[in-house]
Chains A and B, each alone.
Chain A
Amino acid sequence: MNQNKLLALAGLALLVVLTVSSAIYSVDEREKVIITRLGQILRFDDPPGLHLKAPFLDDARYFDSRILTLDQEPQQFLTKEKKYVLVDSFIKWRIVDARQYFLSVGGSEAGAKQRIEQVVNSGLRDEFGKREVKKVIAEDRPKIMEILTGYADKEARRFGIEIIDVRLQRVDLPEQVSASVFDRMKAERQRIANELRAQGAEAAEKIRAEAERKRDVLVAEAYGKAERTRGEGDARATSIYAGAASAAPEFYSLYRSLGAYRESFKNKDDIMVIDPSADFFKYMKKPTR
């Protein structure tokens, strides 16, 4: 009897525990919750904290309220000039309206994701098709992201989702194209290298030529000056000789000639082939006249 009472007490306690645990629920800062009673939405905007619901009857469904990421596989898009680019993008999204989200996708994310991806991809295709590669890479990049975020957000609102950001993570050229880009870069560098070397040669040649010109001019000018100076000297000497010689021209002729003979025959190697009948030897034949 006492044991039966204890058993009944234990059974009651178990029931109480079960009921309590089914009646309270907590909502984390990172969560949103929907309370449904027999499939019907009762509440969907509980703030974080502890809450009560009808045990066994009500059902709590949790959703992540943080910013989530939809990382897309890289895809090829054609640009305006019919070039393929490989685009890797990601979408940052968040459930803002848990009720709408629950109603429209039934709590399964796959459908919503698919829809958002479709919108983003078609948006990307449109926007890339309107622009050249250069614009896509450079100045229009932020604009494309902004436009796509707008598109996707508008679409996603239907699912109770807010699109915070659609970002182009990578915009690259496909591998085959990359190879030709490398070739072009190589050629470009080669051009620069050749140009630099040629410019160097050009500058060097100019410097050399100028130096040589300067040298030639310097030397020639010096030569001119030197010859002028020599001429002056010669002229002075001539006038001095003339001044002296004109006083006694006949004697000068003799004097100068004798000097010249002396100068001409002062070497032992000089050979004179002499006819002994020359006047100089007249006394060698006979001592009288």
Chain B
Amino acid sequence: MAWNQPGGPGNKDPWGKRKSGGPIDIDQVLRNLQNRIRAIFGGDGDGDAGGRGIGIGLILGVAFAVWMVTGFYIVQQGERGVVLRFGQKTEITEAGLHWRLPFPVERVEKVNVEKVSTVEVGYRSNPRTGTKNKVPKEALMLTQDENIIDIEFAVQYKISDPAAFLFNVYNPPGDMEMTIRQATESAVREVVGKNTLDFALTEGRDAVSSGAKESLQKILDRYQAGIQVVAVETQKAQPPEEVKTAFDDAVRAREDEQRLKNEAEAYANDIIPRARGAAARLVQEAEGYKASTIARADGDARRFSQVANEYVKAPGVTRERLYIETMEQVMTNTTKIFVDQKGGNLIYLPLDKLVPNGAARGSATTEAETPPQRETGGAQRGGRADLRNRRPAP
């Protein structure tokens, strides 16, 4: 009659009378058990069943000892052992060797509190093949400006309170991360929904991550899930596949804009220095022209003045001399054709033939300008022969 042992004298009958429903005092039970065992071993048993009593006692004793030994358990480094006595939490043990009351009195549930686990939202990575499988249903979400963004998150968490983790939130056995996944999705979407697409895609990535982390932790605390969120990391934030080309084109357009500007700058940097150079050349040339013109004029003027001074002394002779000298020079240097105009005949002068250089220079014009030939008989022929007085070209 084990059930009426722990109670006091006033609580002999447990049926219906025990309103408090409090747990049984296990220590008391144990003490009684020990007394009972001592009684079996103690040999204050009666004589007639002596031999058999000792045999049964021995077997029971060994069985009891083995039973007690099964109470040893090891808590690994990083784990905590939550001890339940008939379902009631009694203590939480640290790493090392421990003993509990054997089954079915006490049980231990071990929880790793140092392991950082990862929940993937928007994708599932396959550690065996190293590939990522997209889960569009989770990854695609609306932004504040009613655009759709494609975001993949990894949530890292660890168990901060083993008892709370075990006792407070139910997750189906096949999906222990259900709650955290649901909460993450809700938190991320809430944060993304507050931001515009462009912000979430670019400078807002970190803000989205930290906002989601904060929100997620708040949700989990509300459930007293005993989980600490270590980090929420944005694995990927990009426009959805359907609009990717358009977005890429916009990025290219930004590059194009810069390129066009740079090209124009390059053009400007090319022509302006050149223009400065050309301007400097114009000025320098003008300066040169000015200086040389003045110098030339000065020289010419001085030369003339000196000649003029001498001319005054003998004007007639000097005039004559200067004239003749000049003509001499002119005549020496040029090709001369004498034509006696007294005959009154029209003379044909084939200048293009006379001047080989000139002919080569512009035959077309010479042809056009040559007067039409007029057959004047042998006179012309003879005239031509006479007239020719040409030195061979040098």
Stretch at the interface among B44-52, B111-119, B278-286: B278-286
- The reply to whether B272 and A214 form a contact with Cβ atoms under 8 Å apart is yes
Interface of B is mostly: helix
**What's the least CB distance linking A248 to chain B, in Å?**
4
**What's the least CB distance linking A261 to chain B, in Å?**
6
- The reply to whether B301 and A189 form a contact with Cβ atoms under 8 Å apart is no
Q: Could you say which of A54, A165, A240 has the most chain B C-beta atoms within 10 Å of its C-beta?
A: A240
- The reply to whether A230 and B178 form a contact with Cβ atoms under 8 Å apart is no
- The reply to whether B18 and A52 form a contact with Cβ atoms under 8 Å apart is yes
- The reply to whether A164 and B222 form a contact with Cβ atoms under 8 Å apart is yes
- The reply to whether A165 and B222 form a contact with Cβ atoms under 8 Å apart is yes
- The reply to whether A244 and B335 form a contact with Cβ atoms under 8 Å apart is no
- The reply to whether A226 and B282 form a contact with Cβ atoms under 8 Å apart is yes
- The reply to whether A254 and B322 form a contact with Cβ atoms under 8 Å apart is yes
- The reply to whether B272 and A68 form a contact with Cβ atoms under 8 Å apart is no
> A271: which B residues are within 8 A, CB to CB?
334-337, 351, 354-355
**What's the least CB distance linking A26 to chain B, in Å?**
4
CA distance A20 to B278 in the complex (A): 116
> Quick one: which of B95-131 are within 8 Å of A by CB?
none
Q: Which of B185, B258, B327, B334 contacts A267 (CB 8 A)?
A: B334
Stretch at the interface among B62-70, B204-212, B249-257: B249-257
Q: Which of A48, A190, A215, A272 contacts B271 (CB 8 A)?
A: A215
> A244: which B residues are within 8 A, CB to CB?
300-302, 304-305, 308
CA distance A261 to B178 in the complex (A): 113
- Nearest A residue to B393 by beta-carbon distance? A268
Interface of A is mostly: helix
Contact residues of A with B, CB < 8 Å? 20, 23-24, 26-31, 35, 37, 42-43, 45-54, 57, 64-69, 71, 90, 92, 133-134, 137-139, 141-142, 164-165, 167-173, 178-179, 181-182, 184-186, 188-190, 192-194, 196-197, 199-201, 203-208, 210-212, 214-216, 218-219, 221-223, 225-230, 232-234, 236-238, 240-241, 243-245, 247-248, 251-252, 254-256, 258, 261-262, 265-277, 280
Contact residues of B with A, CB < 8 Å? 2-3, 14-16, 18-19, 21-24, 26, 84-89, 137, 140-144, 146-148, 163, 166-170, 178-179, 182-183, 185-186, 189-190, 193-194, 197, 219, 222-223, 239-240, 242-243, 246-247, 249-250, 252-254, 256-261, 263-265, 267-268, 271-272, 274-276, 278-283, 285-287, 289-294, 296-298, 300-302, 304-305, 307-308, 311-312, 315, 319, 322-324, 326-327, 329-331, 333-342, 349, 351, 354-355, 357-358, 393-394
- 30 A–B pairs (Cβ distance < 8 Å), ordered by A: A28-B84, A29-B88, A43-B21, A48-B84, A50-B26, A50-B86, A57-B15, A66-B170, A133-B146, A137-B193, A168-B189, A170-B141, A178-B148, A189-B243, A196-B250, A200-B257, A204-B263, A204-B264, A222-B278, A228-B286, A229-B283, A233-B290, A236-B294, A237-B293, A240-B298, A244-B300, A247-B308, A265-B330, A266-B334, A270-B334
Q: A219-B278, A233-B292, A270-B334 are in contact. List 18 more A-B contacts (CB 8 A).
A: A20-B3, A30-B167, A49-B24, A50-B24, A52-B14, A53-B14, A92-B179, A92-B223, A137-B143, A167-B183, A170-B185, A185-B148, A204-B263, A222-B281, A225-B283, A251-B315, A268-B333, A273-B339
